Structure 1
Amino acid sequence: MIKFFRKIRYNLLETGKTSKYLKYAIGEIILVVIGILIALSINNWNEIRKQKETTNSIYVIVKEDLINDISEINLILKYHDEVRKPSFETVLNTNLTKEDWLKNPQYLSVIDGFKDFSINQRGFELLKNQSNLIANTKQNLASEINLFYNQHLVEIDVAIDELFRENVDINKNLKKHDWFSSFLLHKETEGIIDYISNNTIAKNEIALYYVIFDVYAQELRNFRENAKNIIIKIDQQLKEN
C-alpha cells in the first residue's frame, strides 16, 4: 500500500501536476490522521472494557463477601436475640431461685464469651488497589463501598474490643473464688449461681457486659442493613454493564 501511494506521488510530480499533488498530499495526511484516531479510539475502548471487566469482577467478590458476612451475622444475632438477651434481662431483673437456675442453664450465658465477627475483606482489598476508581467521583459505587468498609471496620472493632475487655474483667473476678475450677470442669454450678444472685459487683459487671453486648449487636445490625443496600447497588451496576 505504501509503494502504491509513493508511485502516485511520483507520477504526479513527474507530470508536473503540482496542485493535484498538494491535494493528494493533504488527503493522504487526513487519511493517516483518521487512521491514528481510529487506532487510538479502539485502544481506548479496549482499555475501558478491560477496566470495566476488572471492576465488575471485584464487585462480584465484594458481593460474595457481604453475603457470607450477612449469613454469619444472622447466626450471631439469632443466638443473641433468642438466648443471650433474654438471659441478661431475666438475670438482671428477676430474683431467681436456685431451681430457676437449674431449670434454665442458658442463664449462665450472661458470663460466657462471645462470637467474634471478622469482616471479609477480599473484595475490599482488591478495590483499594484500584485507587483510580475510588478517586474518580463518577465511580460513586466504588467510593460508597470504600466508605462502607472504613466505617464499619472501625465501629465493629471498637465494640469487640470493649466486649473483650469486659469479659476479661468478669473472668478475673470469677477466678478469685474456690468454686471456679469446679465450674469450669462442669462439676457444679452452686458457687457461681450464688455469686451472680447475691453479689452486687457481679450484677454490675453483668449489666455493663449486657450494655456493651447490645451495642455490639446493634453494630452488626447496622452492618447487615448497609451491606444489603450495597448488594442491591452492585446488582444494579452489573446489570447496567
Structure 2
Amino acid sequence: MENKTGKYFKYAIGEIVLVVIGILIALSLNNWNEVRKERTVELETLKDLKSEIEQNILVFEKHLNKKRIGKKNIDTYVNLLIAGNTSVEDIIAFFDKGYAGATYNPSNGVLNSVINSGNINTLTNKELKYELTSWKDVLIDYQEEEILSLNYNFTHIDNFENNLKPKRDVRFSDTSKKEYDQMYINLSKTLSHRNHILEMQNFLVMIIEEGTSLLSKMKFINQLITLEIKDNFDD
C-alpha cells in the first residue's frame, strides 16, 4: 500500500507539473503574441508618422524660404529708404513682391490620431514620445508670431498705405502719372511708413529665427523615427 501510495503521489505531482508547464507555455505564447501585435502597431505608427513629418518638412522648407525672400526684399527696401534713393519703381516693386504674409499650417492628422487614440503609448522610445507631444507647443509659438505679423501688416501697413498710395487703374484718368509717382514718393518719406516697414522687418526676423528652430525640431523628430525603425525593426 505504501508503494502504491507513493506511486500515485508521484504520478499526481507529475500531472500537476505538466499542467503548470502547459499553462506557462500558453501564457508565454499569449504574451509573445501580444508583444508581436504591439510591435506591429508601433511599426505602422512610426511609418505613418515618418511619412507625415517628411511631407511637412518639404512644405515648411518652401514656406520658410519665402519668408527669407520677403526679408531680403524688405532689407533692400529699407536700405534704399535710409539712403534716400528710393524711386517710384523701387516702391512699386516692393509692394508688388509682397512681404511673405502667408501662414504655415502643417498636416497633423496622423499625429493627432496617434495621440488621441493612445497609440503613442506603444512607442518605446521615450525621447521620441516627448518630442512628438511637445511638437504642437513649438508649432503654436511659431504660428502666433505669423498671426501677429499678419495682423500688424493689415491693421497698420495695408490700411495706412491704401489711404496714401493710389491704385493704378486706367479707368481713372483724373490723376496723371506724374501725380501718381509723387504720391508714392510722398508715401516713402512719411515717418509712419518707415516705422511700419521697420516693424515688419522685425517681425520677419523673429519668424525666421523661430522657423529655423521649428524646422530643426521637425528634422530631429524625423531622425529619431528613422533610427527607431532601423535599429528595432529592420531585419
Question: TM over 0.5: same fold?
Answer: yes
Cross-structure match for 2:4: 17
Alpha-carbon shift at residue 41 of structure 1 (Å): 0.9
> Alpha-carbon deviations, 1:16-52, whole Å to 9, x = none?
8222111111111111111111111111111111111
Equivalent residues in 2 for 1:46-61, closer than 5 Å: 46-61=33-48
Stretches of structure 1 that go unaligned for 5 or more consecutive residues are 1-12
Tell me, yes or no, if the aligned pair for 1:119 and 1:153 is still in contact at 8 Å.
Answer: no
CA offset digits 1:86-134 (Å, max 9, x no partner):
11221222333222344x4576422x52232325241453256036446
- For residues 165-184 of structure 1, give each alpha carbon's deviation from its aligned partner in whole angstroms, at most 9, with x where no partner exists: 2321221123244357838x
- Matched pairs, number: 215
CA pair 46-57 structure 1, distance change in 2 beyond 3 A: same
Residue identity (%): 22
Q: Which has the higher contact order (CA 8 A, sep 6+)?
A: 2
List aligned pairs for 1:94-113, cutoff 5 A: 94-95=80-81, 96-102=86-92, 104=93, 108-110=97-99, 112-113=100-101
User: Counterpart in 2 of 1:116?
Assistant: 104
Indicate if the aligned counterparts of 1:73 and 1:220 stay in contact, CA closer than 8 A: no
TM-score, structure 1 normalization: 0.74
- C-alpha contact (below 8 Å) 1:58/1:126 kept by paired residues: yes
8 Å CA contact 2:146–2:207 kept in 1: the answer is: yes
Aligned residues of 1:162 and 1:212 also touching (Cα < 8 A): yes
Quote the Cα distance in structure 2 between the aligned partners of 1:38 and 1:193.
87
| Distance across 1 between alignment mates of 2:109 and 2:195 | 40
Q: Pick one of 188, 191, 201 that aligns with 1:207.
A: 201
Q: CA 1:154–1:217 in structure 2 vs 1: closer, same or farther (change >3 Å)?
A: same
2:128/2:225 contact within 8 Å kept: no
Change (3 A) 1:229 1:192: farther
Q: What one-letter code is carried by the residue in structure 2 that aligns with 1:61? A: D
Larger Rg: 1
CA contact (8 A) 1:65 1:120 kept: yes
Code of the residue aligned with 2:104 in structure 1: it is D
What letter matches 2:226 in structure 1?
Answer: I
Does 2:128 match 1:145?
A: yes
Structure 1 residues 192, 239: CA separation in 2 closer, same or farther (over 3 Å shift)?
farther
Structure 2: runs of 5+ lacking an equivalent: none
- Residue 74 of structure 2 aligns to which amino acid in structure 1? F
Q: CA RMSD in A?
A: 3.2
Instruction: Label 1:213 to 1:152 Cα distance change in 2 as closer, same or farther (>3 A).
Output: same
Contact 2:74 2:197 in 1 (8 A): no
